[in-house]
Structure 1
Amino acid sequence: MTDGIYTLANDAVLDQLIAFLNSVEANAGGYPVAVFAYDEQISQVAAEIERRPQVTLLADPELFAPWEEFSRQVWDTHPTAFKQWQAQGIQGVRRIGANHRYAAFDKAAPFERFIYFDADVVVLNSVEFIFNQLDHHDTVIYDFQFKDPSHIFNLDSPYFKTLFTPEQLGTQIFCSGFFASHRGRFPVAERQWLVAQLATGEADLLYPRAPNQSLLNYMMLRSQKSIYNFAIHLPPTESTGCAVTSTHFEERDCLVFDHGKRLTFLHYIGVGAGIFKRLTEGENLDCPYRETFLAYRFLHQPHQRPQWRGKPQPLHRPPSLLKRIRQKLGLKF
C-alpha cells in the first residue's frame, strides 16, 4: 500500500511550501510528498521540487478537469453563489484552484492512503498514527473546527440541523487544511448523487466564502463517511491544538508544545503569503510562532536566515492620527 502526503501550492506561497517540505523531511517519517498545482504559476515551485527526490509535482490539467467540473456542477445548484462571486469580480468558481486537493480522491492519484496539508503548515511530529487510523475509518481529522461551524456551513439554512446528526455537527466538521483519507472514496456515481441532492435545495447549506472547505465537509458528512477526529478521541493528556491563533504554545528546539505536549502540526491559518515573504526577506514582524517557521524555511540555508535587532513590528499597524481623523469625519482623501 502506498501512503503519502499531499499539499497544494503555486509560486505565491513558495516560502510556505519550502518550510512545509523541510518540516515533513525532518519530522514526518520519510513519506513521499506530492504537490498539487494551484494554477499555472508554478515555475519556482517546479524548480524547488526538482531538487527534492522524495517530492513530485502534479500539474496535469487532465487530473484536475473532472474535479473542476464537479465543483462547477455543485455551485450551479446554489441559489446565489455565482452572483456573489461576480459582484466581487470573480469569474467562475471562487478559488477553484483550491479544489484541486479533491484530486487526492482520484483513481489516478499516486497514493492509496494520503494525508493532505495546506502549504502554510509545518509538520512537527510523526504522522504514522494518522495513517494507522485509516485502517479503521474513511477519513481522519485532527482539529476543533466543530466549535465554529460558521466557516463551514450556512448556519441560517434549515438544512443545518435537519440534514446532519448532532454527532456529525459536534465532532466531524473539519478545516480543509488537514485531513487524511483514501484514494477512490468519491467515484463519479457518488459525485453525481451528491450534486443531485444539492439540487433539491440542500445547496442552501453551503458557504460560498469558503467553497472548497464547505463542499468537502458536505461530501464527507452527506455520504456518511466514517470520520475519526483525534481532537475528540485522544485523552486530554495527549490532545493538542494545531492553529497559530492559539497564543499559549511554547516554541522549543524547532518544535512547538501545547502545555508540554508536542504538536503534530502547526497551521499558520490566517497569516497571508505576503507576511511570510516579508519575514524571509528580513523584515522584523511580530508574526506568531515565527521562529518555528523560519527554522524550517531556512533548514538547509541557516546562514540566510534573517537576524534582527530591536522590537518586532506588529503585523497590522494602527492607523495614523491623521487617518483616524479622516475616518471619523468620513473623508475619503
Structure 2
Amino acid sequence: MENEDERNQNRIYILGNDSVLEQAIALLNSIRLYDTETPIVLIPYNDKYKEAAAVLGDRFGVTLFPDLTILEWLDATVEETFGSDFFARPQQFRKQAAWFGKPGRFLYIDTDIVVFERIIAVLEYLQTYDFICCDYQHRGGIQNVFTSAILEAPGFNESVLAEIFNCGFWGSKAGLISASDLQDVFAECAAHPEYFDFSQKTSDQPVINYLVLKQIPRRFNLVHRPGGAPGSWAGSKFRQRDWRLFDPNLNQPLQYLHWAGFRLRPGCPYWALWQHYRNLNEPKLRSPRSPKLRFSPPWRS
C-alpha cells in the first residue's frame, strides 16, 4: 500500500483542448469513480484549451500544466528538427512535457480511454522499473512504428523491437528524460527517416518508441506480469458486465479500454459503454431523491 507521501508524488497527465472535452469528461468520470485524490494535469494540445481547463478544473480538480513555455519549446524543437509539414499533428509531442513536470512518478493517458479501476496503482511497478506500458501493440510487429532498417540502428535488435508499445497509456518518472535527450533523439530520427514507418504522419508513436527503447533500459510492459494481463484495444472482442469489460482469453477484467484508431461516435465499438461514462453524474441522470455525487471530491470540501 502507498503511504501519503508516495501518493502525493504520483500524478496523471492528459493532453487535450476544447475539441476533445467530451472525451476528457468520460475519461475523468471513470478515473474519479475509483480515485478522488490523485492530481490530474492538463497539457494543452494548442491554444484552444480555456473551456476544457475551466470545465475539467471545476468538475474534477484538474490543473493546468504549470510551464507553458515548455510546450512552446517542444513545438519549436519539433518544427526545427523535422520541418513544419512533416507531421500532420506535431502537437502530439507536447505529451513529452510530462518528463519536465513536478518531481515524482506520472501516468500519461490519452483522452479516448476509460478506466475500470484505480488506475494510478500501476505506478507501483515504477519501484522496480523506470518506464511502464500495458498493451499488446508488439503483437502486430513493427508496422506503423519502424521499418526493417531499424535493425541497423545501434542498440536495436529483435528482442528490443518486441517491446514496441502504444503511446496512449504509459508511465515513468519526471526528470528521467532531459531536454538535451529529446533534442538528440529527435535529431537522430530526422537524420534516419528510413528507420521509421511514417505512413501515418498523424502519430508521434515512431519517434517516442525510439526515444524510450533507446534511452530507458529498465522498462516493463504490464501484459508480461505473472498471470498475464488483459487486452485494452476497442477493436477486440470483450465481454461486458455492469459497465465493465472482461478479457475472455484470460478471464480477467480490463484495466482500461482504448479507442485507438476509432472515432468516438455512434456505431463505433463499445459506444454505449463510452456514453455511460460520459454521462456519469450528469444532472439529468440523477434521481430527484439522490441529487449528490457518489463521492465528495476533496477539492470541493
TM-score after normalising by structure 1: 0.75
Alpha-carbon contact 1:8-1:101 (below 8 Å) kept: yes
- Pick aligned residue for 1:18 from 6, 12, 25: 25
Q: CA RMSD in A?
A: 2.4
Matching of residue 101 in structure 1 with residue 95 in structure 2 = yes
**Equivalent residue for 2:131?**
139
| Partner of residue 145, structure 2 | 152
Partners of 2:42 and 2:53 within 8 A in 1: no
Shift of 1:59: 7.3
The DSSP-based 3-state class of the residue aligned with 2:106 is: strand
**Secondary structure in 1 aligned to 2:223?**
helix
Whole-angstrom CA distance in 1 between matches of 2:186 and 2:120: 34
Aligned to 1:190: 181
Q: Relative to 1, partners in 2 of residues 1:41 and 1:290: Cα closer, same or farther, differing over 3 Å? A: same
* Secondary structure class of the residue paired with 2:182: helix
d(CA) in 2 for partners of 1:43, 1:190: 31
* Shift, 1:204, TM fit: 2.3
Instruction: Give the letter for the 1:205 counterpart.
Output: Y
> Tell me, which stretches of 5 or more residues in structure 2 are unaligned?
1-5, 287-301
> Is 1:225 matched up with 2:217?
yes
| Distance of 1:232 and 1:185 partners within structure 2 | 23
- Corresponding position of 1:175: 166
Return the match for 1:269 from 250, 260, 267: 260
Taking a change above 3 Å as real, the CA distance of residues 96 and 268 of structure 1, as seen in their structure-2 partners, is same
Q: Following the alignment from structure 2 to structure 1, what is the Cα–Cα distance between the partners of residues 262 and 47?
A: 23
Contact 2:90 2:202 in 1 (8 A): no
Contact in 2 for aligned 1:28/1:124 (Cα 8 Å): no
From 85, 93, 118, the equivalent of 1:126 is 118
Identity %: 26
Q: Which has the larger radius of gyration?
A: 1
Q: What is the CA distance between 1:223 and its match in structure 2?
A: 1.8
Residues 127, 29 of structure 1: CA spacing in aligned structure 2 closer, same or farther, 3 A cutoff?
farther
Deviation for aligned residue 1:74: 4.0
* TM-score normalised per structure 2: 0.82
* Aligned-partner residue type, residue 221 of structure 1: L
Amino acid in the other structure paired with 2:268: C
- Does residue 1:296 correspond to 2:277, yes or no? yes
- Distance change (3 Å), C-alpha of 1:49 and 1:196: closer
8 Å contact from structure 1 (residues 27, 123) kept in 2: no
1:40 is paired with a residue whose SS is coil
1:257 aligns with 246
Q: Partner amino acid for 1:119? A: T
| Number of matched pairs | 273
Cα 1:118/1:196, change in 2 over 3 Å: closer
Amino acid at match of 2:144: H
Residue deviations 1:153-206 (CA, integer Å, cap 9, x gap):
2x24x2346541222111x2111001101111111332343245446x434213
1:177–1:95 CA distance, 2 compared to 1 (3 A): same
Instruction: Note closer, same or farther for the CA distance 1:214–1:235 as it changes in structure 2 (3 Å cut).
Output: same
- Which position in structure 2 is the counterpart of 1:278? none
CA distance in 2, matches of 1:233, 1:122: 22
Distance 2:272 2:66 in 1: 32
Instruction: Spell out, residue by residue over 1:92-138, the C-alpha distance to the aligned partner (whole angstroms, 9 max, x if none).
Output: 643121111000011xx135210101000001112244111011111
CA distance in 2, matches of 1:166, 1:265: 28
Q: Which deviates the most, 216-225 or 15-24?
A: 216-225
